């Protein structure tokens, strides 16, 4: 994985943007992009550089906005970072380029209420069927109350 | 042909853990499958944000009971990187020793589960019996059979003396002979081969499409192993082979995993032979400076990735865990298409599911 | 006289033939693998007559591991109801006794006793096979 | 006098009580041997009895929608068929009853439980039960033909269709095993299929269909089903001992009961070893094995017997 080459092709593809590459500990490199360019950037990574391995998509609540990280890996780590508005966040899906992102996007969708445009199925992945509590990883989330335990009477059952 | 929908799970002898699979079959062919996760979703990522870094080590240990040590290793590695902490050499060596022992334990456990699911109880019994040796070693080192609570931020809390090294070397020899025996059995036992060969096929293209990692990817001839490709801890100083296989079926995965066990025993011997002197841990401050880190390591099932963000307090602002089972689950849809009903059990156990990992 | 004898025979049989059913309602796998370990050569509980059954209809003792999650609660109750009487519930491991480390999780309801009447608690994280055997033997001694 | 001795033969030895005791003992030996071969200790001697009593004393529930009458009748029919078959199979040279042609009746009665097993799956509405039932029927077609063909071998060889006479004939000449080793092997494989034991436990494969047709059965009915299976094991093994291993005869002057027991245990040991040594086959693999390998072999076997006999 050649970070300079990747950065160069990103600059060529998005001449209007001022792109920088920053480093995180343990061999990870980060490029920040606006949300509407992520799909095109991933396409460049997959098609030009053959980077197919998306480790995961991390989503987090940064108070004023939501942040998404696309963690790629091919010998070295490369992370695409983007931010989304707090209200009604929408971002195009990358599942058409990387089918392996299906579950990652579903998870981010249910945990942070981010809509992935074009995703085939955004049903809850981990949360229960009748979940009514909102997105658990948003900061304003409150754990919904537990309605009382089921009264299975042992004597009656026996 | 009428279509019948068979529910597999959440309570099913095939899966120790609840995972709901709805398999639609036509005759004895599977035509469609649906999956429902979340039966063991405990919300660990959210719980992490409410607990301190030290408490989280214990929580991370319980992401998964089978590969508990590798989760704490990845987590501690990340926090140590945030702190800029230099972990003593001896601590790193002991940490890695347990990682490799855990790989042996996990792979043998998997072989047993696979054998049980295809009605070969004898291999199940013997694989789990030999696995006890690995558990014994880990118990003698840490006091715990499955959860070890070995890692602390800044090193490990255990140490071993010369007598223990000697004893562990002896147990490793024993383990080696037994693994070789098992390899011989699965290579020569015809019914085992008949049930596993050409079942659950994954091509290298599919592995790349679904971002599958670990032994499943390696058994499909995708040569990837974080221990070699992105060495963490002390793996750059150790000499080992990355096992790959070209077949891409459950049989190949069995061979890959067992050969990896052999490699792991070799790694353990190297570690014990070059164990440096000195302390095993350093003191870590309670608060972690603001920053972000991505920590990766190779669990028995493949790549584990942790993303940790600190905002300078004693509690992390975000911990993201991605375990290797999640992509493997995605690849199951393709593997299950058009298989025989009886092969569902082999396919499902073939990828080494760990739902507790996937659900968190 | 005859009645007493049959009663004693039945009690003896129940003590000697406890068939278990395992349900994981949200465990981390640690207790589960230790439970399966009970069946393997080192612990071999078949010598106590314990068989791991797959169908709730055949089982006498329901072994629960892990805290109860919202998603698995209904299933847990259904399995309990499918079991024929007399039946017992054992909660295995700290999480299933109280919720353990997962207490406060947004999908976790707490211990098994929030949902089912529990006869015996076996703590430990994960509980060792020896503890499980000891617990099961104590449960069998309670059978009247 | 004859009435009492006949009643004794019918009820005690070699009748029902003996069959019951033998069934439980064989189950214990089988489980014990398997456990020892797998490096375990295995259950205590009273285990099958305790299981039986416990199940008899358990609540008997059926899912709504299941046919209650049929569910109660099927295990009885199966058990009755196996017990009746047991009457015609001599134990150590003593059968409760015999006539010319009882081999055919025994074979017929022994196939009844398989059909009842299939029906049991069909009437209890669960998905696993139905799949298990279908599988048991498929399996039935795969093993039954080679099993029957293998057992005609001894009959043709001895020139009689009575099991008691086949035993007599063998004591005069030699064991059928030495003349038809292939037939014995086929019969053994067929018996494993008939008893639905590992590695041919396809209809009740735990990891695939829970407990197959018996998934929804509990309490008394389950106990009777288990007993049926155990008795079928005993009768099947005795049948093989009588037709292939020369019954009680051993040439030397050993007590006949002793000789018979040893032979029966050896066959049981072979069955246990088979379940330890092999992985479960898939249903299509079994059908292939049955029709592509076992049936042609059985045909060769019969041709050989007729050629040698004629």
Domain locations along chain C: 17-142
Pairwise CB contact (< 8 Å): C115 & A152 = yes
Q: With an 8 Å Cβ cutoff, are B120 and D202 in contact?
A: no
The mean per-residue pLDDT over the stretch C83-90 comes to 87
Domains in chain A (CATH in brackets) are 3-143 (3.30.460.80)
Distance, CA of B58 to CA of B285 (rounded, Å): 17
A103 and B82 in contact by Cβ < 8 A? no
Q: Tell me: the pLDDT tens digits for B329-358?
A: 888 888 888 788 778 888 888 888 888 888
Q: What sign does the CA torsion over D156, D160, D163, D164 have?
A: negative
Helix-strand-coil split of chain B, %, nearest 5: 50, 15, 35
The answer to whether B117 faces chain C, any CB pair under 8 Å, is: no
- First and final C-alpha spacing in chain C: 18
Q: Cβ of D59 and C86 within 8 Å? A: yes
C85 interfaces chain A, CB cutoff of 8 Å: yes
Give the D window 47-106 contacts with B, CB below 8 Å.
none
Q: Chain B partners of A23 at a C-beta cutoff of 8 Å?
A: none
Domain presence at residue B11 = no
| Chain B residues touching D128 at Cβ < 8 A | 6
Contact (CB, 8 A) for B263 and B240: yes
pLDDT score of A157 more than 50: no
Selected residue of A99, A104, A136, A144 to mutate for chain B interface (largest B Cβ count, 10 A): A99
Interchain contact B35–C (C-beta under 8 A): no
CB contact under 8 A, D43 and C86: no
Chain B neighbors of A126, CB-CB under 8 A:
37-38, 41, 359-360
Which of D46, D206, D217 comes nearest C16 by C-beta?
A: D46
And the tokens for B71? Answer: 């989760």
Report how far residue D37's alpha carbon sits from residue B126's, in angstroms, rounded to the nearest whole number: 10
Q: pLDDT at position B236, please? A: 86
Contact B118 D279 (CB under 8 A): yes
> Measured between beta carbons, which residues in chain A are less than 8 angstroms from residue B209?
52, 98-100
The distance of D267 to chain C (nearest Cα, Å) reads 24
- CB A25 to CB B82 under 8 A? yes
Residue B156's domain is classified under what CATH number?
A: 1.10.645.10
Residue of B nearest to C65 (CA): B17
Query: Which 3 state secondary structure label does DSSP give D47?
Result: helix
| Three-state secondary-structure class, residue A58 | strand
- Would you call B294 and A77 a contact, using CB atoms and an 8 Å cutoff? yes
Nearest CA in chain A to C86: A158
- The answer to whether residues B175 and B133 touch, using CB atoms and an 8 Å cutoff, is yes
Q: What is the pLDDT of residue D253?
A: 65
Q: Nearest-CA distance from B317 to chain C in Å? A: 16
Mean pLDDT, residues B108-130 taken together: 88
Q: What percent of chain B has pLDDT over 90?
A: 7
Q: Which residues of C touch B114 (CB under 8 A)?
A: none
Give C104 to chain A, closest Cα distance, Å.
Answer: 8
D202 vs B contacts (CB less than 8 Å) = 342
Q: Do the domain assignments include residue B13?
A: no
B159 domain residue, yes or no: yes
Q: Which range, A47-61, B165-179, C90-104, has the best average confidence (pLDDT)?
A: B165-179
Q: Which residue of B has its CA nearest to A63?
A: B317
**pLDDT for the residue B336:** 83
- pLDDT, residue C142, reads 84
Distance CA B16, CA B7 (A): 15
Q: Chains meeting A at 3+ CB pairs closer than 8 A?
A: B, C
Q: Is residue B295 part of a domain?
A: yes
| Structural tokens at position B91 | 């601590």
| pLDDT cut 90: percent of chain A above it | 0
Cis previous bond, D199, omega within 30: yes
Give the chain A residue whose CA is nearest to the CA of B302: A55
Q: How far is C2 from chain A (nearest CA, A)?
A: 24
DSSP line for chain C: -HHHHHHHHHHHHHHH--EEEEEESS--SHHHHHHHHTTSTTT-GGGGT-EE-SSGGG-SEEEEESPEETTTHHHHHHHHHHSPSS-EEEEESHHHHH-GGGTT-TTEEE-GGGTS--SEEE--TTPPHHHHHHHHHHHHHH--
Q: Which residues contact D137 (CB under 8 A, 6 or more apart)?
A: D118
Residue D301 has pLDDT above 60, yes or no: yes
In tens, the pLDDT along B279-323 reads 888 888 888 888 888 888 888 888 889 999 888 888 888 888 888
Query: Shortest Cα distance from C48 to chain A (angstroms)?
Result: 25
From the candidate CATH numbers 3.40.50.12280, 2.10.60.10, 2.60.40.1120, 1.20.1730.10, the one assigned to the domain spanning C17-142: 3.40.50.12280
Query: Which range has the worst mean pLDDT, A95-104, D74-83, D134-143, D207-216?
Result: D207-216
Instruction: Tell me, yes or no, if B299 comes closer than 8 A to chain C by beta carbon.
Output: no
Residues of D in contact with B26 (CB under 8 A): none
Q: Number of B:C CB contacts under 8 A?
A: 124
- What is chain A's mean pLDDT, rounded? 80
Is the confidence at residue A49, as pLDDT, over 90? no
What is the enclosing helix (H) or strand (E) of A81?
A: strand A76-85
**A57–chain C nearest CA distance, Å:** 21
Alpha helices in D124-162 (DSSP H): 127-158
Q: Is B297 on the interface with A (CB under 8 A)?
A: no
Cα A20–Cα A25–Cα A28 angle in degrees, nearest 5: 50
Count helices and strands (H / E) in chain B. Answer: 14, 8
Q: Is it the case that residue A158 has pLDDT exceeding 80?
A: no
How many domains is chain B built from? 1
Residues 135-174 of B with CB under 8 A from C: 145-147
- Please state, for a pLDDT cut of 70, what percent of chain B lies above it: 98
Q: Do A149 and C71 touch (CB under 8 A)?
A: no
A9 has a chain B CB within 8 A of its CB: no
Write out the two tokens for D83: 């017990």
Please compute Rg for chain B using Cα positions.
20
pTM of the predicted structure, to 2 decimals: 0.89
The pLDDT-based confidence of A155 (bands split at 50, 70, 90) is very low
pLDDT at D28 over 90: yes
As given in the structure block, the two tokens for residue D211 are 């407990």
As a whole number, the mean pLDDT across chain D is 84
Q: What is the DSSP string of B156-225?
A: ES----HHHHHHHHHHHHHHHHHHHHHHHHHHH-HHHHHHHTTSS---HHHHHHTT--HHHHHHTT----
Q: Shortest Cα distance from D62 to chain C (angstroms)?
A: 9
Task: Read off the pLDDT of each residue in C22-48 and give the average, rounded to a whole number.
Answer: 87
Residue written as token pair 């081999």? D103
Contact B112 C40 (CB under 8 A): yes
pLDDT value at position A149? 46
Minimal Cβ distance to B146: which of C30, C100, C102: C30
Please check whether residue B230 touches A, CB under 8 A: yes
For chain C, percent of residues with pLDDT exceeding 90: 3
Over residues C3-22, the pLDDT tens digits come to 888 888 888 888 888 899 88
Band (pLDDT 50/70/90 cuts) for residue D25 is very high
Q: Which two tokens stand for residue C77?
A: 């109750």
Q: Compute the Cα dihedral for D14, D20, D25, D27 and give only its sign.
A: positive
Please indicate if any CB of chain C lies within 8 Å of the CB of D129.
Answer: no
Contact B121 D207 (CB under 8 A): no
Cα–Cα dist D237/D219, whole Å: 27
Provide mean pLDDT across the span B215-237.
Answer: 86
Q: Which secondary structure element, helix H or strand E, spans residue B302, and what is its range?
A: strand B302-310
Closest chain B residue to A74, measured at CA: B229
d(C-alpha A2, C-alpha A10), whole Å: 12
Chain C partners within 8 Å of B17 (Cβ)? 24, 27, 29, 32
| Cross-chain residue pair D51–C60, CB shorter than 8 Å | no
In chain A, which among 92-151 make CB contacts under 8 A with chain C?
A: 126-129, 131, 133, 136, 141, 143-144, 146, 149-150
Domain assignment present for B266: yes
Assess B218–A contact: CB distance below 8 Å, yes or no.
no
Residue A122 in tokens: 């955004």
Domain boundaries, chain D: 60-309
**B325 falls within a domain:** yes
Residue D287 at interface with chain B, using a CB cutoff of 8 Å: no
Q: Does C11 touch chain A (CB under 8 A)?
A: no
């Amino acid at each position: 994985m050649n970070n300079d080459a990747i950065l160069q092709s990103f600059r060529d593809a998005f001449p209007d943007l001022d792109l920088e590459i920053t480093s995180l500990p343990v061999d990870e490199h980060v490029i920040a992009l606006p949300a509407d360019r992520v799909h095109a950037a991933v396409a460049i990574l997959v098609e030009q550089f053959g980077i197919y391995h998306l480790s995961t998509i991390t989503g987090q609540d940064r108070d004023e906005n939501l942040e998404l990280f696309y963690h790629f890996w091919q010998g070295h780590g490369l992370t695409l970072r983007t931010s989304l508005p707090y209200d009604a966040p929408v971002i195009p899906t990358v599942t058409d380029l990387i089918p392996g992102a299906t579950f990652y996007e579903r998870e981010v969708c249910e945990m942070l209420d981010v809509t992935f445009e074009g995703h085939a199925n955004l049903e809850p992945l981990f949360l229960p069927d009748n979940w009514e509590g909102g997105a658990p990883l948003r900061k304003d989330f409150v754990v919904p109350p537990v309605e009382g335990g089921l009264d299975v009477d042992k004597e009656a059952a026996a | 042909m009428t279509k019948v929908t068979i529910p597999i799970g959440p309570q099913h002898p095939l899966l120790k853990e609840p995972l709901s699979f709805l398999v639609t079959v036509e005759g004895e062919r599977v035509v469609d499958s649906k999956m429902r996760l979340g039966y063991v979703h405990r919300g660990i990522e959210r719980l992490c944000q409410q607990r301190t870094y030290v408490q989280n080590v214990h929580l991370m240990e319980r992401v998964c009971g089978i590969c508990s040590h590798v989760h704490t290793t990845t987590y501690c590695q990340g926090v140590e990187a945030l702190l800029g902490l230099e972990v003593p050499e001896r601590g790193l060596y002991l940490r890695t020793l347990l990682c490799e022992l855990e790989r042996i334990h996990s792979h043998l456990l998997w072989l047993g589960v696979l054998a049980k699911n295809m009605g070969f109880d004898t291999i199940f019994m013997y694989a789990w019996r030999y696995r006890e040796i690995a558990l014994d070693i880990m118990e003698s080192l840490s006091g715990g059979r499955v959860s070890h609570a070995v890692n602390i931020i800044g090193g490990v809390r255990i140490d071993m003396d010369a007598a223990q090294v000697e004893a562990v070397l002896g147990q490793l020899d024993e383990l080696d002979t037994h693994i070789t025996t098992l390899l011989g059995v699965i290579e020569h036992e015809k019914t085992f081969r008949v049930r596993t060969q050409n079942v659950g096929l994954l091509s290298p293209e599919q592995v790349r499409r679904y971002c599958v990692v670990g032994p499943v990817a390696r058994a499909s001839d995708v040569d990837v192993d974080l221990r070699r490709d992105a060495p963490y801890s002390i793996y750059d100083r150790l000499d080992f082979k990355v096992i790959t296989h070209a077949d891409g079926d459950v049989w190949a995965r069995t061979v890959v995993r067992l050969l990896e066990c052999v490699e792991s025993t070799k790694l353990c011997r190297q570690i014990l032979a070059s164990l440096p002197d000195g302390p095993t841990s350093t003191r870590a401050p309670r608060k972690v400076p603001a920053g972000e880190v991505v920590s990766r390591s190779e669990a028995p099932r493949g790549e584990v990735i942790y993303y940790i963000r600190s905002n300078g307090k004693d509690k992390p602002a975000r911990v993201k865990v991605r375990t290797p089972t999640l992509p493997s689950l995605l690849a199951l849809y393709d593997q299950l298409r058009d298989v025989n009903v009886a092969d569902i059990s082999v396919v499902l156990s073939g990828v080494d599911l760990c739902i507790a990992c996937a659900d968190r | 006289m005859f009645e007493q004898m049959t009663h004693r025979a039945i009690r003896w049989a129940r003590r000697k033939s406890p068939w278990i059913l395992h349900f994981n309602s949200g465990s981390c796998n640690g207790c589960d693998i230790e439970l399966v370990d009970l069946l393997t050569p080192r612990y071999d509980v078949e010598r106590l007559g314990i068989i791991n059954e797959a169908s709730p209809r055949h089982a006498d003792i329901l072994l629960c591991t892990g805290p109860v999650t919202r998603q698995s609660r209904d299933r847990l109750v259904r399995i309990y109801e499918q079991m024929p009487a007399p039946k017992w519930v054992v909660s295995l491991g700290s999480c299933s006794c109280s919720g353990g480390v997962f207490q406060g999780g947004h999908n976790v309801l707490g211990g098994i006793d929030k949902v089912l009447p529990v006869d015996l608690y076996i703590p430990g994280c994960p509980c060792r096979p020896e503890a499980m055997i000891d617990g099961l033997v104590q449960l069998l001694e309670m059978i009247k | 006098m004859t009435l009492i001795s006949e009643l004794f033969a019918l009820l005690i030895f070699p009748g029902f009580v003996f069959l019951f005791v033998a069934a439980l003992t064989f189950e214990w030996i089988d489980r014990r041997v398997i456990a020892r071969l797998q490096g375990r200790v295995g259950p205590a001697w009273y285990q099958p009895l305790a299981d039986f009593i416990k199940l008899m004393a358990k609540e008997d529930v059926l899912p709504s929608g299941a046919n209650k009458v049929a569910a109660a009748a099927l295990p009885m029919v199966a058990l009755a068929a196996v017990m009746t078959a047991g009457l015609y199979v001599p134990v150590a040279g003593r059968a409760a009853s015999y006539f010319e042609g009882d081999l055919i009746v025994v074979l017929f009665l022994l196939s009844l439980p398989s059909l009842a097993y299939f029906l049991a799956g069909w009437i209890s509405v669960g998905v696993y039960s139905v799949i298990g039932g279908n599988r048991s029927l498929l399996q039935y077609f795969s093993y039954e033909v080679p099993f029957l063909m293998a057992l005609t071998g001894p009959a043709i060889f001895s020139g009689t269709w009575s099991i008691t006479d086949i035993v007599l004939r063998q004591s005069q000449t030699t064991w059928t095993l030495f003349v038809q080793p292939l037939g014995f092997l086929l019969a053994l494989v067929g018996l494993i299929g008939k008893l639905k034991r590992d590695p041919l436990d396809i209809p009740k494969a735990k990891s695939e269909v829970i407990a197959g047709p018996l998934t929804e059965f509990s309490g008394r009915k389950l106990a009777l089903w288990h007993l049926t299976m155990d008795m079928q094991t005993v009768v099947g093994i005795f049948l093989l001992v009588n037709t292939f291993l020369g019954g009680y005869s051993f040439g030397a002057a050993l007590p006949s009961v002793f000789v018979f027991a040893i032979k029966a245990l050896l066959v049981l040991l072979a069955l246990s070893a088979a379940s330890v040594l092999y992985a479960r086959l898939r249903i299509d693999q079994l059908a292939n094995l049955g029709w592509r390998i076992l049936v042609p072999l059985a045909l060769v076997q019969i041709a050989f017997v007729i050629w040698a006999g004629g």
